[in-house]
Structure 1
């Protein structure tokens, strides 16, 4: 088995990726921004249990302190590794006034990891990008977007997350082409990531389920996106890590059809009984969201998404890497049940 570095081990995708790599028998290193986060990661792995993709952390897991905004720690973390899964990404809990607060650490952090991997003679880096780097800034079209598509940065003003993921991925491909040496790169582009929550560290998409269950979203905005389970994203990273077919390729991670938040709400109401009593039944008209955006930064951030249906194809991952993801309904229910089980929604 190989020695694998998973960056951002305390993150939602990161901790599930660690679990899958350990289950596969690899020796795993991971980075955290602060040393005290080691106990949180180990607790999340124990919380997961084998049935949810987690494991009791064995001696094959070690921790390194490294931050995307600083050079320190990355060379040491990568030294002796066969592969690097660069999952870490800056995440803000607010909409930044300056988009560079998100863009710069995403792009520069990716380059730091790639340089460290190259200097450590790592075989391949698998980068966690996003569907946001593929399907945004384009007019509506019936045919699904695929891995040949690129987000049009000239048409995504006011969307710093989309810009950060697009520019970070672009920087990675440029680095490999110009100064990567023998380092290989594969890229995973997940859509909105759901699935079992193992602790308080989870992706922004999980907040949608939480808000629906808490009653914080009395009406759903007219927003649509593709879904994928975090356990399947983790497994796809491992497949891309070693497959010959994955070298120099990008892969969209999506489970099935695009869904609206209202459709997600209907799944919760149908499957969770009383636990879904606060989940809304109706969709808000766009004018109401625009009115709310005058005072609510999160509503304002959703404005570019209203009514935009972006369908993406996961055929390439299925065909080349054997990707066989869980269905939308299963992951929605698993997400909600984990939030309830951990006491992260209102009783």
Structure 2
């Protein structure tokens, strides 16, 4: 297989591994900076307890080592653990990479990665179930259960959320009813300006919420039951926005009840912002975030979400006395929150030591 020597006069018989000094142990989420290339350490046990892979996020490349490759995967070594191997494979199925360089054999793409991982999960599902069944019969006790909290991929949560966001923005236009007097169509269309204003403001605000929802969940590795519940509450508030928008438009058109309508409209947005903060705080506390997001980035996102409470709260407070000014403050919230958050893609804090 080797047909070229490293250098002239190279003697394979004289080759030896030079001793090295251990300086530290790598842990899951550690980052190795090679100067222009940053590799994130992924702890993927199963083949051995300490099996790792290296993820080059910016390039979408995974160096998988011995955890996955073409051919029979070895999970019968003295220290191998099939249950741990399965958890590692469940993680790899959802890993977003474009190319995998394994420790053995040819490289392959994400589709093949998912295929190999899925094949292993299907193959071992029967053996794991059979092993637990035999253990239960012999011991006359239920099979041992995992004590760790159940976690899930965020894929289905995001798909459901995107559907709710899409429906919410679609319902907004239903509030705009065409004029009935076609003899004065232009005047009738002009009289609908409150509906246009409320529609534009709400559409852009829901779009902004959708953008920041992705900012949040793009950095999430797993979700638990608490995240599913909290996200459901957030979507319930988003689905309420078409009603708040209609209320605001009708109040502007009638020139009555403006204060109350602005408070209801702003209160709906403030509740959504509060739930954003609660979800993000739980994700950080429960360690469900992707290790590629550094502490600086996590704090930057938390500050952006917290500022929304103050900003929208100010709009509500002002709107209770001067409704148009309150709407203007809430509208000013739009351009600031469409801007990217420094550190959200894993950038380092330049001011850090």
TM-score normalised per structure 1: 0.26
Higher gyration radius (CA): 2
Greater relative contact order (Cα < 8 A, sep 6+): 1
> Normalized per residue, which structure has more strand?
1
